Amino acid sequence: MSLVSLLHDSAQGTALYSRVLALLDAITTAATLSLPELPGHLARALSKDIAFERLGLWLVDEKKTPTPVGNSAPFVGYESLRWVIANHAPLNIRDMTREHRPGKATSILSALLVPLQSGNRLIGVLGLGSTRRDAFSADDEYVLLTVARSLAAIVENARLHQETTRRLAEMTTLYDLAQRMNSSLDLQDVLKTIVTSLKDTLKCRGCSIALLDPTHEVLEIAMAAGIKPEWERRFRLRLGEGIAGRVALEGRPIYVPDTLKWEGFIFFDPSVRSLLTVPLVLKQRIIGTLSVDSDKPHAFTGDDERLLTIAATQAAAAIENARLYSGLEQQVRNLAEAYAELKKTERLRDEFVQNVSHELRIPLTFVRSYVELLLEEYPGPLTADQRKYLEIIAEKTNTMSRLVNDIMELQQAGAPLIRRSPVSLSDVVHRAVEGCAAAAARAGLKIVEQLPEERVLVIGDEHRLIQVFDNLLGNAIKFSPNGGQIVVRLESTRSVVRASVSDQGIGIPKEEQARIFDRFYRVDGSGGQRIGGSGLGLAIVKSIVEAHGGEVWVESEPGKGSTFYVSIPQYRPPRAGDITG
């Protein structure tokens, strides 16, 4: 028979039924979604019907351990609560003084405890306490039991609401933390933000990050907030030593609720009473520990531990980012230094080469002059061998003079243009072709000129521009061992004049094309053989063209030939009609 039908069966039952209905009405209207406020609401509603001085509401966890809601001091013994939880049945303690273990509030002399059930699941205990002995009747028990059945749903809702609110707050905190941690890439800034933010969030006394030196396997404090500098300096733990050492070794959080009761606790600061330490893990590697401490025992909750653990994951990532960044910065600095050093060495080398070349020029002129004298048999007749040897000396001296001249020219080639005047590039090209005609003919080569009818002008230094085409034509002849023809073309667009020198020679492999304009760079011929030259010609060409605000490049295919292009801004003299005013 159900309780409700039992209540219906008698006159007393009807009275009880209306008591229960009135109470349920009061409770549901007063019901709040805030769990800590619930005992107060219940007390107000129930006091209209039952006389009592204390109300207690306990919720049980998975281990069936009761925890009071709100902060009311317990007025019944733990054993009594355990009994209700174990038996799912009400307990009317008529005389507390006879209880095996009385509650702490000794003024309470009787108590009525009923289980809170949601379906078949016991979720807590509701209890009333009175300063009178035997204060609660069997009717009160029925009423409270019935009320408790409806209350379960309200408690569940409030609990859910509390959990959702807590999670939301936690998410907001973590989001906020992540934002702050990632606002800088400087390692010290990042560490400082982590400790100060967590100290604020967890409202604890101190927060510290200890980083692990993997070589020496020691933990040292890298940043702290709220900790005295002397304790910070003293802190040094080997892996496995102390709380942080164990956390770093085992990779799991450790909570010390009361340092005085923790055997072997290593005190750096004697005033620390509770300590919560979590590992800083990055890609399954422990890089350090994150700790919060308090001068009060039992300062941290399970929620704090969870929050700190998640924050530690974010912190580890932020620390790694900052470390990677500072590593990169260092590399950039090293590269910049190395580059500056290289530039300095290059400058010194250039100066040295220029000086030596200059010093070589005069003695070389002497050697050449005397050799010429000897070859002209001025001092006396030569034997065939003597002539042969002198001719070798003359040839090598010429090669050396060319090299020295090239080096000297290279220096001048890159210098800014001093004499600037309109120069006809058509004339320049034509003169260069004329100058090379004899050499080309000797090599069995034909030079074809394709020049526009109108003269095209550029602003620059005629002498240096002739040098450009001398060098390009010289190369075209030198690197066309099988003859063929060389085409020199000049075209003008609106803004530039483009000249090209094409040959049908040996060509240049793709991978070498970018480097041939470097000083002293020469492509190795097949079988390592080289055609004579200093490797300076194209460097001179490039310097001169660039000094004229132009560009030079090559298109080539090995075995088929090369085309060198030179493009220089065109100069168009103002015509009479252009001048206004």
Please report, as ranges, the residues that interact with ligand ADP according to CB under 6 A: 471, 475-476, 479, 503, 505-508, 516, 521-523, 533-539, 562
In whole angstroms, give the CA distance from residue 526 to residue 512. 14
CB of 475 to ligand ADP, least distance (A): 3
Q: Residue 252's closest CA among 210, 272, 281?
A: 281
Shortest Å distance, C-beta 476 to ligand ADP: 5
Identity of the residue, 13 or 474, whose beta carbon is nearer to ligand ADP in the bound complex = 474
Give CA separation, 284 vs 84, 209, 251, 320, 374, in Å.
Answer: 46, 18, 9, 13, 84
Q: Could you tell me the smallest distance in angstroms from the CB atom of residue 534 to ligand ADP? A: 5
Residue 421 forms beta bridges with which residues?
A: 460
Residue 351: which residues within 8 A CB-CB, separation 6 or more?
none
The residue (of 188 and 450) whose beta carbon lies closer to ligand ADP is 450
Residue 472 tokens, joined: 């390009």
C-beta closer to ligand ADP: residue 109 or 523:
523
Nearer to ligand ADP by C-beta: 359 or 518?
Answer: 518
What is the spatial distance between Cα 365 and Cα 227, in angstroms, rounded to a whole number?
Answer: 81
Gap between the Cα atoms of 82 and 78, Å rounded: 6
Q: How far is the CB of 398 from ligand ADP (least distance, A)?
A: 14
CB of 426 to ligand ADP, least distance (A): 22
Residue nearer to ligand ADP on the CB measure, 91 or 538: 538
Residue 240 near residue 346, CB atoms below 8 Å = no
Token pair for residue 197?
């933010």
User: Cβ of residue 478: shortest distance to ligand ADP, in angstroms?
Assistant: 6
Minimal distance, residue 466 CB to ligand ADP, in Å: 16
Q: Which two tokens stand for residue 17?
A: 């039924």
Tokens 């209890």 belong to 127
Choice between 255 and 479, CB closer to ligand ADP: 479
Report the C-alpha dihedral over residues 27, 29, 30, 35, rounded to 10 degrees.
80
The whole-angstrom separation of Cα 32 and Cα 27 is: 9
Question: Which residue's CB is nearer to ligand ADP, number 151 or number 523?
Answer: 523
Query: Which of 146/562 has CB closer to ligand ADP?
Result: 562
Helix, strand, coil shares of the chain, percent, nearest 5, are: 50, 20, 30
CB 507 within 8 A of CB 560: yes
By beta-carbon proximity to ligand ADP, the closer residue of 290 and 506 is 506
CB atoms within 10 A of CB 286: 19
Return the number of the residue (276 or 508) whose C-beta is nearest ligand ADP: 508
- Which of 249, 252, 316, 329 has its CA nearest to residue 281? 316
For tokens 């409806």, what's the residue?
Answer: 150
Shortest CB 544 distance to ligand ADP, Å? 13
Q: In terms of CB distance, is 221 or 538 closer to ligand ADP?
A: 538
Sheet holding 561-569, edge to edge: 445-450, 484-492, 496-502, 561-569, 551-557
Distance separating alpha carbons of residues 66 and 60, to the nearest angstrom: 4
- Min dist CB 474 to ligand ADP, Å, is 7
Amino acid letter, residue 195: V
CA 281 to each of CA 320, 392, 572: distance values in angstroms, whole numbers, following the listed order:
10, 76, 70
Q: How far is the CB of 370 from ligand ADP (least distance, A)?
A: 27
**What's CA 537's distance to the chain center, in Å?**
47
In the numeric block, the tokens 């470390």 are attached to 323
Closest to 542 in 3D by CA, of 566, 520, 523, 562: 566
Q: Tally helices (H) and strands (E) across the chain.
A: 13, 18
Output the six-digit token pair for 208: 């510290």
Least distance from ligand ADP to the Cβ atom of residue 480, Å: 7
Nearer to ligand ADP, 445 or 538 (CB): 538
- Which of 284, 526 has the CB closer to ligand ADP? 526
CA 399 to chain centre: 57
Kindly report the number of other CB atoms within 10 A of residue 426's CB atom.
20
Closest distance between ligand ADP and the C-beta of residue 486, in Å?
9
Closest distance between ligand ADP and the C-beta of residue 410, in Å? 10
Question: In this complex, which beta carbon is closest to ligand ADP, that of residue 305 or of residue 546?
Answer: 546
Host H or E run for residue 40 = helix 38-46
CB 310 within 8 A of CB 174: yes
Ramachandran angles phi, psi of 576, nearest 5° = -50, -40
CB 469 to ligand ADP: min, Å: 13
Task: Write down the least CB distance from residue 561 to ligand ADP, Å.
Answer: 7
Nearer to ligand ADP, 109 or 544 (CB): 544
